[in-house]
Amino acid sequence: MEWWMWVVGGVLLLAAEVLTPGLFFLFFFGIGGILTGILSKFGVVADPSMEWIVWSAVSVVSMVIFRPMLLRLAKNIAPANLETYVGETAMPTADIAPGAIGQAELRGVPWTAENVGTSSVVKGQRCRVVALEGLKLKLRAD
């Protein structure tokens, strides 16, 4: 595969991470793609099958090593006034089964949300924020 395709794919994965529930999976595969593209550009990795191995290895190893640190950092960066969100109404942007994680909108901003209720919530249904865990809303249907 051409080196620039790896870089473009990596950038697209990084962009997709922004649109997902902040779990930092796509981020590492995007970094792996960009690094593979750079290594391919300079001839360090020339064989196409070796490019896939490098991409996979870099992505998985970096995820195992750095993901826990990023999750702790994201939890510690949470604004101090988040407790004011408890009791407010949020709207899921997609159906969320009981115990599942999805996305919801609160104050016009997309959030990672977990359905802590016993019944599914559907897209657009009014839900009550019952708690926060880092930057993840805990929702229950109204």
Tell me the per-residue pLDDT of 28-39, one tens digit each, with 9 for 90 and over.
Answer: 999 999 999 999
Structurally, the chain folds into a number of domains equal to 2
Length of the chain: 142
Distance CA 8, CA 57 (A): 19
Show pLDDT as tens, one digit a residue, over the chain (142 residues). Answer: 899 999 999 999 999 888 776 678 899 999 999 999 999 999 999 899 999 999 999 999 999 999 999 888 876 665 556 678 899 999 999 999 999 999 999 988 899 999 999 999 999 999 999 998 877 899 999 8
Looking at the structure, do residues 55 and 100 belong to the same domain, yes or no?
Answer: no
Looking at the structure, do residues 88 and 34 belong to the same domain, yes or no?
Answer: no
- pTM assigned to the model: 0.59
CATH number at 121 reads: 2.40.50.140
Looking at the structure, do residues 106 and 49 belong to the same domain, yes or no?
Answer: no
